[in-house]
Amino acid sequence: MMNHPPLVIVEKGKDPYGTTRAALSRFPLPPLQERRILIKPNAARPASPGQGVTTHPLVISGTIDYLRERGAKEIAIGEGFIFGVEGQEAFRKTGLKKLSEKKKVKLLNMDRFDPFEKTIPDGTLLKRVKVSSALKDFDWIISIPVMKTHMHTQVTLSIKNMKGLLWRREKARLHQLRPDEGRGRRYRSLDLAISEMAKVLMPHLVIIDGTVGMEGMGPAYGNAKEMATLIVSDHALSADAVAARLMGFSPEKIPHLKLCSEK
Alpha-carbon span 85 to 68, nearest angstrom: 31
Predicted local distance difference test score (pLDDT) of residue 184: 47
Distance separating alpha carbons of residues 80 and 244, to the nearest angstrom: 24
pLDDT of residue 240: 98
DSSP at 166: B
The pLDDT, as a whole number, for residue 10 is: 98
Q: What is the 3-state secondary structure (H, E, C) of 73-95?
A: CEEEEEECCCCCCCHHHHHHHHC
Give the residues of the chain that fall short of pLDDT 50: 1, 181-182, 184
- What residue type is assigned to position 18 of the chain? G
Nearest to 227 by CA among 26, 12, 5, 6: 12
DSSP string, 53-71: SS--HHHHHHHHHHHHHTT
pTM across the whole model: 0.94
CA distances to 44, 57, 120, 125, 259 from 199, rounded to whole Å, are: 22, 28, 7, 13, 11
Residue-level pLDDT at 56: 98
Spatial CA neighbour of 244 closest among 152, 135, 177, 147: 147
CA distances from 257 to 14, 34, 36, 66, 198 (A): 28, 32, 28, 29, 10
In this prediction, residue 9 carries a pLDDT of 98
Q: E strands of 80-144, at which residues?
A: 106-109, 115-119, 128-132, 140-144
**Alpha carbon distance 63, 59 (integer Å):** 6
Question: So what's the pLDDT on residue 3?
Answer: 60
Helix, strand, coil distribution of the chain in percent, nearest 5: 35, 25, 40
d(CA 148, CA 141): 20
Rounded CA-CA distance 16/211 in Å is 6
What residue type is 67 in one-letter code?
A: L
Q: What angle do CA 164, 211, 163 make, to 5 degrees?
A: 10
